[in-house]
Amino acid sequence: MKKIGQFFYLVWWYIRTRFFGKKIPLQTVLFISDKCNLACKHCSVYNKTNPHVSTYAQVKEHLEYAYKLGSRFVDLEGGEVMIWRDGDYRINDLIDLAREVGFFSVTITTNAQLPFTGSHADSIWVSLDGYGEFHEEIRGKGTFARLEKNIATADHKHLSVNMVVNKLNYTSVEKTIQYAKDNPAIEMISINFYTPFPGAENLTLDKELRLQVIDKVIEMKRAGYPIMNSVSGLKLMKHNNFKRRCWVTNFIYPDGRKAGCAGEDTGICDDCGLCMAGEMNALFNFKPDTIFAGLKLRM
């Protein structure tokens, strides 16, 4: 019954946004802190000197704000969500809170350096930036072994991995997709590309190499590998010259700032590697494979 209600909400949201031009976000990326236990080469989010950590009360306010805007899916992000604390509150309390507020599903993204067995999240994204040494080149020594151990013991049926492809790890894409397929703890893999947000090392992949990687990912998707991206969305990411629908996601940053994608403010959309941008365009153009991928992911 609940699922039917949620499905009708999605249809209503789609009609209002697609046919009446309303810009209503459907998903929220809520940064609960920028405190992290890693310092990844490609990342501009973590803050080692003066980290912001939202309190339980602040997260509640942010969730209610996003829900009132119309958003129904939330990804709790960091920093590292597994180190978030406010007194006795832990990440599972925030996940429960998001559901109480009314979100249909709650996702967390983690670097899997700490155990997350018993997570209350509907789905878990683990960042995996290549196989073995490729991952460690970006995330540090020992990070791959800890990730493997923690995903093996997570015992969560919707655990997927996210690879951010850059000039250090692009040769590992095929092997990483194969690894995701062969690992029984992993449901799917999502592919994104490095986006040059200011403050991180510039690891942008050459245009020609990016095209080759996308072609390989499409080929593997067609061959049945568990790749979350839709073929329609991937094709758009080849040239990045499609109409942006990024308002579908609203962002609440670690300092509490409520805004759109940071890429828009910094003028880097032409170099964007966040494949959600292509997926949103394909969704609005009613591409069946993208609609199917979205429903599978969220419902």
Ligand X SMILES: C[S@@+](CC[C@H](N)C(=O)[O-])C[C@H]1O[C@@H](n2cnc3c(N)ncnc32)[C@H](O)[C@@H]1O
**Residues making contact with ligand X (CB under 6 A):** 36, 42-45, 77-78, 80, 109-111, 127, 162, 164, 192, 194-195, 197, 200, 273
Place of tokens 């970006």: 138
Q: Looking at beta carbons only, is 42 or 287 nearer to ligand X?
A: 42
Residue 155 near residue 119 (C-beta atoms within 8 A): no
Q: Looking at beta carbons only, is 200 or 211 nearer to ligand X?
A: 200
Q: Looking at beta carbons only, is 100 or 255 nearer to ligand X?
A: 255
Q: CB 138 → ligand X: shortest distance, Å? A: 8
Q: Looking at beta carbons only, is 31 or 104 nearer to ligand X?
A: 31
3-state helix/strand/coil string of the chain = CHHHHHHHHHHHHHHHHHHCCCCCCCEEEEECECCCCCCCCCCCCCCCCCCCECCHHHHHHHHHHHHHHCCCEEEEECCCHHHCCECCECHHHHHHHHHHHCCCEEEEEECCCCCCCCCCCCEEEEECCCCCHHHHHHHCCCHHHHHHHHHHCCCCCCEEEEEEECCCCHHHHHHHHHHHHHCCCCCCEEEEECCCCCCCCCCCCCHHHHHHHHHHHHHHHHCCCCECCCHHHHHHHHHCCCCCCHHHEEEECCCCCEECCHHHHHCCHHHCCCCHHHHHHHHHCCCHHHHHHHHHHHC
Q: CB 21 → ligand X: shortest distance, Å? A: 29
Q: Looking at beta carbons only, is 111 or 230 nearer to ligand X?
A: 111
Q: CB 200 → ligand X: shortest distance, Å? A: 5
Q: Looking at beta carbons only, is 17 or 107 nearer to ligand X?
A: 107
- State the residue number with the nearest CB to ligand X: 127
CA distances to 190, 207, 238 from 271, in Å: 18, 9, 11
Q: CB 159 → ligand X: shortest distance, Å? A: 13
Q: CB 165 → ligand X: shortest distance, Å? A: 9
Q: CB 110 → ligand X: shortest distance, Å? A: 6
Q: CB 20 → ligand X: shortest distance, Å? A: 32
Q: Looking at beta carbons only, is 10 or 191 nearer to ligand X?
A: 191
